[in-house]
Structure 1
């Protein structure tokens, strides 16, 4: 059996979609697969694939990749690669063309974003018609995919994302944890309320700040500190205009001493050790990696009751609140801020749920089973 796959991601951006392939490569290798990659020259995707241990084939643009389809076919033949896996809908043109020219290739596609409009015109019927299996990363996106894509239901499968829980196991000693809290300006004894993600309107930082203002009014005796984790510049994936808007609103509400803009951080597993409550007020998450990362760290999580987040947390593992309702967020934050025992109980239940249902090992195992089944059926 050909246990080889090429992951195709011709993107110049950097987000969950682009991080996916390099993140799963080590586990794919552990499960016996040889991984190849196709990326844009000079892109962060190409660099991350190299960091993950493979030398990707690179193209200057998607257009160049289409023009060099013959070179790609020769590369695939030389390396005995029969499985292709695309992650951007714009890359399906290339994937479908490769399968059209060499029907023995097997094409897979993961919808990381959650399609928002039907794709059933002649072009999309051709392109998606070449896909052996479309993976939806949540039940919420699968429901939309069943309606939007020109594929029979049996070719659309829900495949939850997963993480390696090991990095999220607490490892800081008390003095290290305190030093980290000090660096974030968290006062001694304060409950740290964190929100991690790109600073853009869809991630809900605005409603979170409004909720903190209401928390102060409702529970003046509570000692808390907010920590916003995420890049502050466009180069780090955030909206600089929105960052300025958030800073202005924090000042207007008199929260300047109670909210830290921590900026981009690469040490999120350790930052979770400094935080007591993690908030994820995103309006329409296709999955919610930050949710399961915080759960794996044993944190009490409050998530938006929209998109896929309700599939990840419930009353036994966290709390949900409407993404556009600061009153509801203030209620949920106030409940957890005032009850350390409840936070600990929810955090432990959340950690166990991730270990049982959302590990990278389980995700990749289901993925390679789909690859293997397709190869078996094609042989």
Structure 2
């Protein structure tokens, strides 16, 4: 049986969706599968696939990919690739066309975004009709997918994302951690409250800043410092207008000396070591990768009580707060900031939860099983 798959991601962006293929390729290889890739020429996706150890096919545009469908079919045949895996809905046209021309292919689609609108018009019925499995990255996303997509329920499967916990294990010495905290502007003895993520309205930084203002007013005895981790420019995936709004609001609230805009950082596993609390106030996460990364790092996490985040943490492993309630965020941060023993208990439980349910190994094991199952089904 062929144990080869081509991942298709024709995107010039750079977020969790675009990072997915390169993240799982080493584990796919370890589990005996060879991965191929199709990406936009010059994209970060293409570069990440090279870094993961494969030389992807590249095209200048989706239109060019459609024009080269014959070449793609010859490539798939020459390499005995029978599984195609798409990650953007806009790439499904290509995937469905390839399956139409070669029905022995199996087409997978992972909904990384959590669709919110029905897709049952004639085009989508054709494209999704060619999908062997639609993978939902949380139960919340699966329920949306069942309502939105023209597929029978048995073709829509939940498969939680996962991470390798090892890079997130603490490794800095005490002095190294202090140097990092100093670089982030965290005063000695202050509880560091971090919020990693793209600086866009849906990620909840605005409500978090309002909550910090409440924290200063309602709990004046607490020593704390907030750190925003995320690109400050459009090229880094953030909204520059929103960044300007956040900076202005921080100044208006008099929080300039208590909030650091750290910009994009590639060393997130180490940055977690500088924090005592990690906040993820995103309003509508389809999964919440940052949540399990912070849990694996042994942080006390506060997540939004919306989207898929409540599937990842509960009262034993973290705290939840309504995404539009600044007072709830204020009180949750105050509770954790004022109780180091509670933070430690939550962090230990969080690490265990990730190891039990959200590892990259378990994710890829489920993915490989789905691939294999479809190869046994009639075309």
TM norm. shorter chain > 0.5:
yes
Cα distance in 2 for residues equivalent to 1:182 and 1:12: 35
Matched with 2:58 is 58
1:319 aligns with 2:315: no
Matched with 1:153 is 153
Cα distance in 1 for residues equivalent to 2:64 and 2:231: 32
Matched with 2:259 is 259
Equivalent positions of 1:1-379 (< 5 A) are 1-378=1-378
- Tell me the secondary structure at the aligned position of residue 376 of structure 2: helix
Q: Which residues of structure 2 form unaligned runs of 5+?
A: none
Cα distance in 2 for residues equivalent to 1:259 and 1:117: 37
| CA distances 1:151-178 after superposition (whole Å, capped 9, x unpaired) | 0111000000000000000000100001
TM-score w.r.t. length of structure 2:
0.99
Following superposition, the deviation at residue 130 of structure 1 comes to 0.5
- Tell me the secondary structure at the aligned position of residue 92 of structure 1: helix
- Tell me the secondary structure at the aligned position of residue 342 of structure 2: helix
- Tell me the secondary structure at the aligned position of residue 110 of structure 1: strand
Following superposition, the deviation at residue 378 of structure 1 comes to 4.0
Following superposition, the deviation at residue 131 of structure 1 comes to 0.5
Following superposition, the deviation at residue 375 of structure 1 comes to 1.2
Cα distance in 2 for residues equivalent to 1:121 and 1:305: 33
- Tell me the secondary structure at the aligned position of residue 80 of structure 2: coil
TM-score w.r.t. length of structure 1:
0.99
Cα distance in 1 for residues equivalent to 2:345 and 2:232: 34
Cα distance in 1 for residues equivalent to 2:54 and 2:100: 27
Cα distance in 2 for residues equivalent to 1:261 and 1:147: 39
| CA distances 1:288-321 after superposition (whole Å, capped 9, x unpaired) | 0000000000100000000000000000000000
Cα distance in 2 for residues equivalent to 1:257 and 1:148: 46
Cα distance in 2 for residues equivalent to 1:150 and 1:239: 33
| CA distances 1:224-283 after superposition (whole Å, capped 9, x unpaired) | 000000011111111111111111111111111101111100110000000000000000
Cα distance in 2 for residues equivalent to 1:378 and 1:71: 25
Q: Which residues of structure 1 form unaligned runs of 5+?
A: none
- Tell me the secondary structure at the aligned position of residue 71 of structure 2: helix
Following superposition, the deviation at residue 374 of structure 1 comes to 1.1
Cα distance in 1 for residues equivalent to 2:378 and 2:7: 20
Following superposition, the deviation at residue 376 of structure 1 comes to 2.2
Residues matched between the structures, number:
379
